[in-house]
Amino acid sequence: MNRAYFIIVKVLPSGADPPHNYAPPGATGASLLSTVDLTQDNFEDVIQKNAMVLVDFWAPWCGPCRAFAPVYEAASAQHADVVFAKVNTEDQQELASAFQIRSIPTLMLFRYQIILFSQPGSLPGSALEDVLTKAKALDMDMVRKEIAEQDTTV
């Protein structure tokens, strides 16, 4: 495993393992092969109720964000088991601030409410595919164990 891709940043509150591909009622753009628009109102619900969520923090005026959008959409079509979500940092400033987004685009990957990947900048399609493949292959019991061990040494 290439640990350069996976940085465990933060653990959200635990709960039962969520089903795949849940989008809250009324979520804009919600479907298996498209992106879900996240807001402060639905963010926690989407993260809690899905096994894996890839979040793209972006803004409409951001050139690199617009250039990355087709790569992101193409990946969503190939990974029906992952919820692809977007946070418009202009409209959702409190949410962007809560995750300390300083540069856009920023990608953040959650698996069972654990942030496995967080990186500013867009990725080429092959690198995004690599991140998703490696995240799916991770033994989450081992990840939780490592987190628990880190918490006891702090």
Tell me which residues are annotated as active site: 62, 65
**C-alpha 75 chain-centroid distance:** 13
Residue 98 CA to residue 12 CA, distance in Å, equals 13
Measured CA to CA, the distance from residue 56 to residue 128 in angstroms comes to 12
Which ranges of the chain does DSSP label H, i.e. alpha helix? Answer: 43-48, 63-78, 93-98, 125-137, 140-153
User: Whose CA is closest to 108, among 129, 126, 131?
Assistant: 131
Residues 22 and 46: beta-carbon distance below 8 Å = yes
